[in-house]
Structure 1
Amino acid sequence: MNIFSVLHCEIRKIIRANVFWLVFLIFAFGPIMMGVGIILSSDAGGINWKMYLTELLDSLAPLGLIGYTFIAAWVFGREFSDKTIKDLLAKPVSRSKIVLSKFIVILAWSLLLSMYMFAIGFAVGGILGVAGGSASFIWNIFFKFIITSLLFIIVTTPGTLLANVSKGYLAPLGLILIIVILSNVLASFGFAPYFPWTIPSVFQSTGFLKLSSIIILASTGIAGIVGTFAWWRFAEQQ
């Protein structure tokens, strides 16, 4: 089997799962509640698209981290929880193609979730009468939000490794809850540019990253990817 056949099978498997649709249902509530809260807390008629989207996406981007981590952990971890790992390994396809197809699906699903949350938040603003924004500004802030989402997706790769090592998706979810708490603490002490899981939020707020932050972020993502490929290549599959 070539990589496209493996990817096709992986996509069909994901779309047919109830979890795929539940993720979009659950993560619709975040932008809805945040958007309504931002508008209601502002002075009547005193909020425009720049104020609304800036505040919304600064809060929404870290929320996406939880969703992206769940997606990454579930795509790998479900093979163990559903006990389909042996059937998967019995297929006439290399393990590296299986891992690569899963990473591609994780990337596509996570980006789709990111665009979905932005669309929901934008729709809430439009329905509740936010005005005063230009198409170019909205496009620019959307583009920055997508880049921020990609940065968050990069740091979910250690979660994929943990999902394989722990043979399930609960451990990565527990880890991300600890990371969220730790991120708030470190950010309050000024360490946000040096902690992998807060670096994307720095980009969302400032629009740029220092070289040290880029190196830390890239190293974290690469470590998770390489570790996952290595685990599938060398670890004993029970």
Structure 2
Amino acid sequence: MSILSVLYCEIRKVIRSNVFWLTFLVFLIGPLMMGIGIISAASVDEINWQVYLTQLPNTLAALGLIGYTFISAWVFGREFTDKTIKDLLAKPVSRERIVISKFLVILAWDVLLALFMFAVGFAVGAVSGLPGWSAAFVGDTFLRFFITSLLFIFITTPGALLANVSKGYLAPLGLVLLIVILSTVLSDMGFASYFPWTIPALFQIAGTLNMSSIIILALTGIAGTAGTFAWWRFAEQQ
């Protein structure tokens, strides 16, 4: 069974699920409310495209962190909660191809959501008729937001690993809650550059990262990816 066939099966499973469309609904309401909130909170003389697009991506960061981690955990964890793991492993395909296919689906799903989220936020600003339009600034903001989203997606791999180890996606949801709490506490303490899940938000704000943050980010994503492959390769499936 080729990798394309496995990937096609994974795509069909995701698109036919209610969770796929529910995430787009959440990522519609979130940016919509955040955008309206930013515009409503500022006075008429203060708000413009530069102010709006500076604040909006920062507020979307938390939504992306929670959403991407949930998706990563759900794609792997649903095989256990739906009790389809044995059927999946019985197929004439290597476990490595299954994992690769799932990670590719997660990547595509998250990228679509990131683009959708920015588009909704942008549409709110356009409908509101904000002054100070600058195509160059919008382009730079979008590029920074997209890179930030990719960084968040990269560090969701520990959530995928936990979903496999715990054989479900409830434990990763607990991880998300812990990450949100620690992100707030560590940021207030000045350790945001050393906590993997706050590092992408720092890039969103500053547009750059120091070497130690890059290393921590890379090791976290690689560890989650390698751990997931190792679990599927060596762990006994019950």
TM-score bin (small chain) = over 0.9
Length-normalised TM-score, structure 2 = 0.98
1:31 corresponds to:
31
Q: Normalising to structure 1: TM-score of the pair?
A: 0.98
Q: Which residue of 1 aligns with 2:184?
A: 184
| Residue in 2 that maps onto 1:57 | 57
| C-alpha displacement of 1:164 | 0.3
- In structure 2, what is the Cα distance between the partners aligned to 1:184 and 1:29? 23
Q: For each residue in 1:212-237, what CA deviation from the matched residue of structure 2 results, as whole angstroms up to 9, or x when unmatched? A: 00000000000000000000000010
Is 1:203 matched with 2:203? yes
Does residue 223 of the first structure (1) align with residue 214 of the second (2)? Answer: no
More displaced 10-residue stretch of structure 1: 213-222 or 169-178 = 169-178
List alignment gaps of at least 5 residues for structure 2: none
> Residues of 1 paired with 2:19 and 2:64: CA distance?
16
Name the amino acid aligned to 1:86: K
Q: Is structure 2 residue 106 aligned with structure 1 residue 113?
A: no
Aligned to 1:130: 130
Aligned counterpart, 2:78 = 78
- AA of the residue aligned to 2:147: I
Counterpart AA for 1:196: P
Deviations 1:68-100 (A, max 9, x none): 011100000000000000000000000000000
CA offsets 1:171-194 (integer angstroms, 9 cap, x no match): 101111111011011001111111
Matched, 1:44 2:54: no
Give the Cα–Cα distance (whole angstroms) in 2 for the partners of residues 134 and 27 of structure 1: 25
CA distance in structure 2 between the partners assigned to 1:103 and 1:215 by the alignment:
22
SS at match of 1:213: helix
d(CA) in 1 for partners of 2:54, 2:216: 25
Kindly indicate whether residue 175 of structure 2 is the aligned counterpart of residue 175 of structure 1: yes
Name stretches of at least 5 consecutive residues in structure 1 with no aligned partner.
none
Partner of 1:237: 237
**Amino-acid identity (%):** 70
Shift of 1:46: 2.7
| Mapped partners of 2:46, 2:193: distance in 1 | 32
Distance in 1 (CA, whole Å) between partners of 2:15 and 2:130 is 34
Counterpart of 2:63, as a letter, is L
Deviation at 1:45, TM superposition (A): 4.1
Cα distance between partner residues in 1 of 2:113 and 2:90: 32
Moved more, 210-219 or 128-137: 128-137
- Corresponding letter in the other structure for 1:2: S
After superposition, residues 142-161 of structure 1 pair within 5 angstroms as 142-161=142-161
Runs of 4+ in 1 over 3 A off after TM superposition: none
Instruction: Please state whether the residue corresponding to 2:97 is helix, strand or coil.
Output: helix
Distance 1:210 1:13 in 2: 40
Q: Deviations over 1:108-150 (max 9, x none)?
A: 1011111111011111111112121211211111011010001
Matched pairs, number: 238
